[in-house]
Structure 1
Amino acid sequence: MFNFETLLQSIENTTVLCVGDLMLDEFVYGEVSRISPEAPAPVIAVQRSEINVGGAGNVARNIAAIGARCIFVGLIGDDVAGQTLTAELAREPRIAPLLVCDPSRPTTRKVRFVSEHFSTHMLRADWETASAASAEIEARLLDAILPQLERADIVLLSDYAKGVLTPEVIARVIDVARQRGKRVIVDPKSPNFVTYRGATLLTPNRKEFVTATRCAADTLAGIAAAAQEAMALADCAAMLVTQSEHGMTLVPRGGEPIHVPALPVKVRDVSGAGDTVAAVLAVVLAAGQDWATAMRAASAAAAVAVSKNGTAVVTPAELRRKLLPHASLAAEDKIIGNETDLDRRIAEWRREGLRVGFTNGCFDILHPGHVKVLTAARGACDRLIVGLNSDASVRRLKGEGRPVQNERARAEVLAGLEAVDLVVIFEEDTPLNLITQIVPSVLVKGGDYTREQVVGHEVVEAGGGEVLLVDVLPGHSTTSLVEKAREGTT
């Protein structure tokens, strides 16, 4: 997994080349209380309106909002909507827009009429020409795109089938990107995935995936099998199928699928959620993270996006809160009293598709080093269980005079932390029996251990889980704190 602050620092040094269909999103909010006397149609009493950079432009905005740099290539018409988009993008300091103007077509514009009280879309009006760009415009687009590939860490193609990503543009960009060792992510619109042949990752939603593969997509095994066939034809490295409230499933070519459940959230507006997923995937992968980490970040970002009205972006602070959320229980409910209760909790979480993590220790005097490990552990899973050495166990390990605090006090302090979901006291010197009972998806310890030294690593890895080692903070240890206290120093 990752340290969130380190990830943000890496993101700030990444550049994403985003190419796709730009559009102007307008939202008109109001209330409907009567029917028009002129026709049987509702009358909306407009209360406010707002405009957003939408389509692939929203992908670019999300890339910039999370802290990366974005080179954006899109298409506009010679009209007021195009001028508006140009001005809006110019206000984004982390976006470098390269907009090609095609006077023969209007700028794509979508106006949505929304009930303010119920957040319900009542009507959408579109202005667009959904035909492929002409050969002349196609050449101008490639002239804008190809010289930027050297500057980019990753390429993202956002296809809304409005004319920018013609077969020629797609093929040339992917071919040149591969020659230069650049990964290409595609948010596809064409039901023929071979159109995107050679891309690194395709990110269809469930409906697009079903249409393209003729797979029911109702089981993980079914999605994996259909994705493998599609990737073989399209020569892609991986496919991510987003499934709204059912989470998202990534299938690496020739590998085992990875599924991440959706985070619980009150959905206000799904407009642009796919843009957010594609943007965060690109940025986190460009920052050097693996598939699973990128998926978890994208899932968290999607939960933030759909909880907002309109076409929304996600900030680092919002993403941090979703990736490192509050624990699921109140402090008094976190301390487990018996094995039956523990088994029941774990079974409930597994039924919900949640990833269970585990770490352990004496936690005699909680210090910043402990907090760092616990926070990193919670960031690597959906639910974190902390194994706590009993008083007798601590005495055997640390000697007489320890623990300073009894096991109940230590458990209550741990239970008060947002990062912790359950605290389980164990009597043995090691948590091996507890780990065998839980079989966590991720086992976390401080980086002063090696993987082979971590008790229970064989159990976790045999169950398909992973061992995560977190760098320790120098100068922080319970033993040194106790010694200083006994010497009367600070």
Structure 2
Amino acid sequence: MLDFETYLARLPDQSVLCVGDLMLDQFVYGEVSRVSPEAPVPVIAVKREETQVGGAGNVACNIASLGASCVFVGVVGDDEAGQTLAAVLGRLNGRLSAELVADPERPTTRKLRFVSEHYSSHLLRADWERPQPLGAAIETAVLARVEAALPRVTAVVLSDYAKGVLTPRVVRGVIAAARGRGVPVVVDPKGRDFSVYAGATLITPNRKELGEASRRPLADLDAVAAAAEELRRDSGCEALLVTLSEDGMLLKQGGRAAVHVPAHPVRVRDVSGAGDTVVAVLALMLAMGAPLDAAMRAANAAASVVVGKRGTATVSPLELRSRVLPAAALASEEKIVFDAAQLDDRVAAWRAQGLRIGFTNGCFDILHPGHVRVLTRARAACDRLVVGLNSDASVKRLKGEGRPIQDVVARADVLAALEAVDLVAVFEEDTPIELIRRLKPQVLVKGSDYRVDQVVGREVVEANGGEVVLVDIVPGHSTTGILKKSGQAPARAGGPALPAGREPA
């Protein structure tokens, strides 16, 4: 039986090299209420804009979001979009190292989408790209960066979006160098000729790509399995994994029967980037020596998480764990959200039922009776209680070195197991003000060691007709006090001032 907990614990020790076509995804959201007087086209009133790392960069982001390290090698233009991508990648939690080659002969691949906020429908997309093979000098520069990175990675991903980075020379060079070191190579392919990927450990076409490459109809799973085996044999790879959207995944290894897993039953919001998540999880599982069928099941679970989110998305270890573990273990974990869109959906559903939303927050490093009282009283003041939980980085900034004692997964698990808690929302900032602005709770609860005017988010809640509730604390109970008794109390870092007489939680 697969011990998935062991694999999760080993994720931070893994490092994956990702090579492929990097893109800058930009979104302009707004509302359309009129037609332009200049031409018969809609006018979008812009509300907000988003910038995301796309293409092969999303594979790298998924690897980093799962807690592993990633070295990304790609090509950008000598332009502003390339500088933007480098800056965005540089901000991704310190686990992503971007080795970008600037090619003055091509623009950075950029896709600008105009989206109706209300209907979530795309109105227009503008592309900047030059999908032509790299020149010899740029190929050499890419391969040099790959050679430099290989000694410190445990798996390699080739993410081919047919924009010209993964030329035959680059692909063959990367595969040969990786396999020479015994490092598994996972390929997300493009095109009809998979022979260029000869020597890869695993190739992951979708149904359409498999049909085009095999030049045969894929009417059922038997046809998919036959085409997969033919293509696996002809391409010279060890195994082929076919992603089948709502039909799940199918794995074909040499000399073995095909293995099919159905898709998880989820509400699909957006399939953008799901293939990137699949490839990232497969690479990490293979890096840890997992069997291919186990890697497929983990990747299938990860895909079910990201298709439930809007836009190009990533998956966290906690979200992946909640899909893989048996159903009996999931009740509390379904309460934990790291993604703002999931929070929005849950709260919107509660509001549609006319339920009163409450909110409290804290680090909850070592749960004690003081915490329990605040949480139970908070739940009594509302119909659904959302608990804002500081991330590990946030706790460290507020409390100092040595904190948190327990990581965010452990702290979230403990909170979610409490009957009083309906949802745990993890936030990265020092205070929950942005979370409160997003949530707009009707009730905001804190301990009575605060004054009402000291409660973060009070103005937001009261401006929306809500109230602040102060709960009597249990004297003599605090995390710092517990740590002092055990002789482990670390020094507190600088941070927001605490109310007089209040000890850090």
Residue 149 of structure 1 is matched in structure 2 by: 150
**How far is the alpha carbon of 1:329 from its aligned partner?**
13
Is the 8 Å Cα contact of residues 119 and 269 (structure 1) preserved in structure 2? Answer: no
Is the 8 Å Cα contact of residues 236 and 253 (structure 1) preserved in structure 2? Answer: no
**How far is the alpha carbon of 1:327 from its aligned partner?**
6.2
Residue 396 of structure 1 is matched in structure 2 by: none
CA separation of 1:63/1:40 partners in 2, compared to 1, >3 Å: closer, same or farther? same
Give the number of aligned pairs: 332
Residue 41 of structure 2 is matched in structure 1 by: 41
Residue 161 of structure 1 is matched in structure 2 by: 162
**How far is the alpha carbon of 1:72 from its aligned partner?**
0.7
Q: Take 2:30 and 2:326, find their aligned partners in 1: how far apart are those partners?
A: 33
Q: Deviations over 1:113-158 (max 9, x none)?
A: 2222232222211100100000110111111112222211111100
Residue 176 of structure 2 is matched in structure 1 by: 175
Q: Take 1:148 and 1:56, find their aligned partners in 2: how far apart are those partners?
A: 17
Residue 9 of structure 1 is matched in structure 2 by: 9
Q: Take 1:265 and 1:146, find their aligned partners in 2: how far apart are those partners?
A: 41
Q: Take 1:174 and 1:267, find their aligned partners in 2: how far apart are those partners?
A: 34
Is the 8 Å Cα contact of residues 25 and 311 (structure 1) preserved in structure 2? Answer: no
Q: Take 1:223 and 1:328, find their aligned partners in 2: how far apart are those partners?
A: 34
* 3-state SS, counterpart of residue 12 of structure 1: helix
Q: Deviations over 1:452-480 (max 9, x none)?
A: xxxxxxxxxxxxxxxxxxxxxxxxxxxxx
Q: Take 2:164 and 2:323, find their aligned partners in 1: how far apart are those partners?
A: 35
Residue 199 of structure 1 is matched in structure 2 by: 200
- 1:244 equivalent to 2:245? Answer yes
Question: TM-score scaled to structure 2, two decimals?
Answer: 0.63
Q: Take 1:114 and 1:243, find their aligned partners in 2: how far apart are those partners?
A: 27
* 3-state SS, counterpart of residue 222 of structure 1: helix
Q: Name whichever of 189-198 and 129-138 sits farther off.
A: 189-198
Residue 114 of structure 1 is matched in structure 2 by: 115
**Residue identity in the other structure for 1:9:** A
Is the 8 Å Cα contact of residues 119 and 309 (structure 1) preserved in structure 2? Answer: no
Q: Take 1:298 and 1:160, find their aligned partners in 2: how far apart are those partners?
A: 20
Residue 262 of structure 2 is matched in structure 1 by: 261
* 3-state SS, counterpart of residue 101 of structure 2: strand
* Correspondence 1:283-362 to 2 at 5 A: 283-324=284-325, 326=327
Q: Take 1:291 and 1:299, find their aligned partners in 2: how far apart are those partners?
A: 12
Is the 8 Å Cα contact of residues 277 and 315 (structure 2) preserved in structure 1? Answer: yes
CA separation of 1:106/1:326 partners in 2, compared to 1, >3 Å: closer, same or farther? same
* Correspondence 1:371-410 to 2 at 5 A: none
Is the 8 Å Cα contact of residues 11 and 286 (structure 1) preserved in structure 2? Answer: no
Residue 140 of structure 1 is matched in structure 2 by: 141
**How far is the alpha carbon of 1:205 from its aligned partner?**
0.9
Is the 8 Å Cα contact of residues 184 and 286 (structure 2) preserved in structure 1? Answer: no
* Correspondence 1:35-74 to 2 at 5 A: 35-74=35-74
Q: Deviations over 1:237-280 (max 9, x none)?
A: 11011111111111112211111111122222221111111111
* 3-state SS, counterpart of residue 13 of structure 2: coil
**How far is the alpha carbon of 1:101 from its aligned partner?**
0.5
* 3-state SS, counterpart of residue 131 of structure 2: coil
**Residue identity in the other structure for 1:307:** G
Question: TM-score scaled to structure 1, two decimals?
Answer: 0.65
Long gaps (5+) in structure 1: 331-490
**How far is the alpha carbon of 1:328 from its aligned partner?**
12
**How far is the alpha carbon of 1:313 from its aligned partner?**
0.9
Is the 8 Å Cα contact of residues 322 and 330 (structure 2) preserved in structure 1? Answer: no
* 3-state SS, counterpart of residue 160 of structure 1: coil
CA separation of 1:247/1:214 partners in 2, compared to 1, >3 Å: closer, same or farther? same
C-alpha RMSD of matched pairs (Å): 2.1
Q: Take 2:178 and 2:8, find their aligned partners in 1: how far apart are those partners?
A: 25
Q: Take 2:317 and 2:129, find their aligned partners in 1: how far apart are those partners?
A: 33
* 3-state SS, counterpart of residue 27 of structure 2: strand
Is the 8 Å Cα contact of residues 199 and 237 (structure 1) preserved in structure 2? Answer: yes
